[in-house]
Every structure is written in C-alpha cells, then in structure tokens.
Chain A
Amino acid sequence: MPFVPHTDEDIEAMLATIGVASIQDLFDEIPSDLRVGELDAIPAGMPEMDIARLMQARARVDGQPLCFIGAGAYDHHIPAAVWQLATRGEFYSAYTPYQAEASQGTLQLLYEFQSMMTALTGLDVSNASLYDGASALAEAVLMAVRSNRKTKSTKVLVPAALHPAYRRTVHGIVGTQGIELVEVPFDPEGGHTRVERLEAVAGGEEFAAVVVNQPNFFGILEPVDDLTDWAHAHQALVIAVVNPVALALLSPPGDWGALGADLACGEAQPLGMPLASGGPYAGFLCCQRQWVRQLPGRVVGRTLDLDGKPGFTLTLQAREQHIRRGKATSNICTNQGLLVTAATIHMAMLGGEGLARVASTCHANTRQLAGMLCEIPGVEPLFDRPVFHEQALRLPAPPAELLRSLAERNVLGGFDLGPDYPTLDPALLICATELRTEDEMRGYADELARIIATRTQPKRPVETKFSGRMR
C-alpha cells in the first residue's frame, strides 16, 4: 500500500481501540446510496520505477528546443544551489507559518524576500507574494480602487502595450466586481504609451488608477516619469508593472515622477524559477507605506519575543480572509512560498551587481540578435524607441508559418504578435537572454534567412507528427 504504513497487527489493534469490527464501519454515517463502487476509469497503481520510466519518456518527448520566446517568461540561468536548498524538506514540506515559533526559517526568509523586493522597487512595503504576475496586477487594481479616496471612479486606465495575458486575466478577476478597464493605445511609431494618448482617452473623466508597465509588452521603455506625473495630477494612483531583473538597471517605481508609483507588481519568475510550461511562478506586490492596510496577501513583520529577542511573525492579519471572512482585502489564502524561497536565494546569490550583469547581458544579446535578423531582407524593427531585452520585428511573411518551420528545426523563434495586435501583423517579438550564445543566435538567423528565402519556391511539405499550433 503506497504511503500507508499500517501492518495487519496495527489495523487490528486500532479497530479494537475504536470498538468497531472493520474500517468500513467507520463510514457508517454516510448514506449507503452515496457510496461509490469501482473506480474503473482510474488506472491501477504503479511503483516508483514504472512511473519514473513513463515520466522520463514524456519529458524527452517535449525536447529542449532553443528558446527565443520571452513574452512574460524568461529563460535565465538558475544557480544550482537555488533548488537544492528550496527543495530541502524543511522548506518544501512546511505549512503556512501560522505557528511562528516553529516556522522561523520560513518567516525570516519571507521577511528577507520582502526586503529585497522593496530594494528593487524602491517602495516601502512588499507582501510575501501572490499567484503570478497577472493575478498580482488584478489584486493591485482592486487595491488601488479600494485605496483611492479622492475619486469614486471604478475605472482604470490600462495601456494596450500591456501583456495581453495580463489584460485578459485582470479582466476575468476584477470584471465580476464592477471595475472597468479602459485601454490606452500605443504610439504606432514608437510603440510606447504617450501622455497625450492618456489625456485623449481620459477625456476629462476621473480614473482610480493608471497602469504603467516598464518595459512594456513590446520590450519598449516607457516614459514612466511623465505618465506617473500625469496620473497624480489627475487624482489617479499609479500601478507599476515591472520586470524584477530589469529593475537592476532601470529607475525603480518608487522614484518615478515627482511622487513615485503608488503600487508596483509583476512576475517574479525571472528570479530563479524554471519556465515549466507556465508555473508555478510567483507574483509580487509592493506599495507605499500609506496603502499598507489595503495590501492583500501574507505579510511578515519583525518583532520581539517574551525575552526581548527578535523574531518574525505573520502580521496585519486583520486584513485577511481567515479573520475578516467576507470583508477581507482578498480571498487569497496561500502565497507562493516555495517559489519565494527560490527567488530569495536567487537574489541573495546574484546580488545587485550580478542581477545588473544579467540584465545588461540580456539587453546586449537581444540587440545583437535583432541586428542579425534585420540583415535578412524584409525584416526590420517595428518601433524606433529603446528596448530592454525584447524587440518587436516586422517580418516579410506570416509569423505563424515561419515559426512552424523553425519549430520543426527545434528553434522557438519568438512570439507572434498578430493574433493579439492585428494592426501590427506580420510581426514577431523576440528575446535572447544571457543564456543564448552568439552561435545559437547566428544559427537562428541563418535558419530564418533560409526559410524566408525558400518559401517563395514550391517545396514538399515537411512531415510532422504534431500540429504545432501556437496558442
């Protein structure tokens, strides 16, 4: 019996202590017509060696293609120590630290995470994480609407140059609560969000908050100071959506404009989390001190014990669902503890300088790759403004078709912008992190050049086992 340690003698002795004849008798309060028969649809159990064989075969099937996709999840180096430490049983198999005295390890680590996130964002307070970047933005939007007492508006200005997956997630989560997201178009030449556009879309109406993302979905650096000042001049709070690796180089949200962003959120995946088909990752949410009572999620504080010794505990729990139930700031119960463990160790390992080197290498690699790709006739930059570590390119052929051909050669060439931004079609968003070598980038460029050159000539279709559709 997997993971059940009982011997026949144990079972007999335990039943005798309870005073029943069989284990089935323990279920006698359940109406008999509700009991299930055989679970035929579920396969028989497997020993570890068999499931290991199956999983190894399936992991091999997925291959390890050369990845030039970014679009919200980034292929970074993760120090070996990060997951060796994070999967120590004492971190891996511990519960939420309600019993503080028996959870000082997790609690201190969360406090250190909060400290590192406030260092990166330049804000006063961080929570101990949310599910992912997109759901963190949804919570930030709810928090901003709750916090902004200067206006009754439940509308929020959101740039069209924000990640489409973030826009649809936020819509799904806040839409049930009567909050309206109003889109601000990006500049067709620069790819950035201009204050004039905000002004035009707002049309004199009040908004609870303005979302400002840095870099934006196209990798473009936004004029964050101007956008922040415009929002504050119009009684709106500023929600920054930021990449934590980029923050090693770029101005932190706390320094934006005259007053700084009010909230900053984003995806912590670039801090030591494997791509893993999309999760688990971790969202972060930081804020200026004045909004802390509206912050959702776990927060750890440093305090003193009975002997006056410093220690750590969950705090501000009066905001949370297990105390306030229907009046809580959010229904969130967990954080992403294990991922935060990895992120904290990752940040400690790299430090400020290491993270800045990662960021600048990603920037340089992406620029180098873009340069190589733009040597191909018909390929050119889509926008003329500076980027961080992603770049949008105009292509001479439908991206879906080119990407399919590349994938057959085990290269994931980027993200097709067409389905989410029809006016930009045919366009591709590329990313080359610090892991991509010059040879790999050259190989990608040569492959794409060959595919583009030959696609005008008729050719035999390549046999593939699977359909290869981008979602």
Chain B
Amino acid sequence: MRSFGYTRPDSAQAAVAAFAAAGEGARYIAGGTTLYDLMKLDIERPAHLIDVTAIRGLDAIETGGDRLRFGALAPMSEVATNRTVLRDYPVLAESLAKAASQQLRNMATVGGNLFQRTRCLYFRNGAGGTSAGTTYPCNKREPGSGCAAIGGLDRGQAVLGQSASCTAVSPGDWPIALVALDAYVEILGAAGTRSLPVAELYRLPGNTPHLEFTLAPDEIVTAIVVPKTRAGRRSAYHKIRDRESYAFALASAAVALDMDNDTVRQARIALGGVATRPWRATAAEAALAGQRLTPDTAAAAGRAALTGAVPGRHNGFKIDLAQRTVADALLIAAKRTTA
C-alpha cells in the first residue's frame, strides 16, 4: 500500500473543500470496506484520504412523509433493522441483511455501499504485490490491457450488460433493491448539490470499463431517498449464493408488487449478480402487469427478465438460475400481506 495523507473533516462542505485542497489522487473514504480492501491489494492507490465518517448529521434515517431518506453515513446494519424499513420495505432490509457479515454491515455505510467495486477474480487478483502475484489483464484495472475473464473461468461473470472489454458483475445487493424502488441520491460537490436516480449512478462497461460511476470525483452522496410505495410491503430480496450466507450473489432479484387481490397492477423487478450494473427488468415488469401471479406467470416473468442475456463459457446456468430466482422472489413477495 502506498503512503497517503489522511484528514477527517466534520462537515460535508469541509470535505468537499478538503478534496479540492488535496489535489491529485484524493479520495473520499467512508466505512472503508471496499476502498481499504482494494488499497491492501494495491489496486486502489489514493494519495490522500478524506474520511467523511466524522461529518455530523449525515447518518439520520427519516421515515416520515412521502419518502424514506437515509443519510449516506447510516451504517448498513442500522438501516437493515429500522422498524419502518423492516415492516414496509422488506426488500430494502433483506438486501442489506443478506450482504456481507454483521461486522462489515456495522462498518459499511449505505452511501458507500453504492460504490462497491466488482469482485471479478481477474480484477481483484491481478495486481501483483502482496496479492498472489498473478497478473491478469484487466481493462477495468489497467485500461487497454485486455480482459482475462473473457475466454477464461467466467462462472461468476455477467450475462447481461457485458461488452467485449469487460464482463465484471456489479456486486451490490442494496443498489439492486434501490433501483427496483426508483430511489435517487442527493449529491454534494464543488459545483453544488444535485440529485440523481440510483440507476443512473452506474455505467455500462462499454469500452471504458474503468469508468464505473457517473459521480464526479469530488462529489459525495449525502443521502439516499426512496419514494414511498405501497408495493413496498409486498417486496422481497432473494439472493442465491454458493453458500448459505456471507457470499456474493450468483443471482439475486429485488421485487416489489402492487397487487389487486392476486392480480399484479405493477411489478418492480431488478436483478443482481448477473449484470454489469444493477439491472432493472422492465420487460418482466411489463409482462406481469395486469396478470394474475401464479407459478407460471412468475416463471414467465423470470424468463422475460433475462431477455437478451448472453452466456459465456461457464456461466450459462446463471441465466436459468436468475430466471428461477426472479420467479421465487415474486412468489415470496406476493405472499407477504399488506396489512
């Protein structure tokens, strides 16, 4: 790990000012569970860290009115156990509770989690140094070096949204649920404040897979806002992994259903574990609208959700698995009462 400067401002404005003052190589750090991890692997090499966790007032969880508003610094574990979130938005609570371990959820913030980087093996294990010394080409890590995952051991790679440059999966759970619920983020930067749908935070890899987020380097997310919806109560985050807990998704589905008895008025469906960014499955949503929810229509929605999926060498099963995961998620959510 390279040496770096470290400052811990106590306001968001001071953080943005500190970022500007620090110059080249400055990075914000919150919980650090991604950034510090990747610094240990010599993949991230910041010259200066601006630790935002001492900023006061950025960890509030507000559930009144017509929206949920989560301060960016609220720990994942706090939001996961918020009573309103648990009762009215199980998809949000479950997406947090099924991510990482309780230790990491206590450290990681709901804002920082949006910027978790991929777990692609060729990305993480290829930087040499104190990692295993296996240097794999990776366009995300070293633009222009190539992609070893294409034509390699791609069991964990994306089947949706990949390009000839990159097939790395967007690893998050929480962003999947947020995208399903049309959440947006409030952003502060040197140029002022703005808001942006969570779905628009993420880029497709295209031929620039090293550019993952649409945030400017000096901007920070200050809050995540979820518009309230009655579909929240009939929602679920279903995550299939290689073990029962503490693993990244092979396939996951965030769903929320607005239903009239057993007929779907509107469905919201997003996929994780299978795509290069959080993947809203609009075709599946359209397929379900106005339909009775049955195992058959749920399965059909699952198939629609994977429209356009392209398998690699070893990950074809993920298409089938994701279809089934969507179907199960819909059936789980539908059983939840709105009372």
Q: Do A and B bind each other?
A: no
Query: Which residues of A come within 8 Å of B, CB atoms?
Result: none
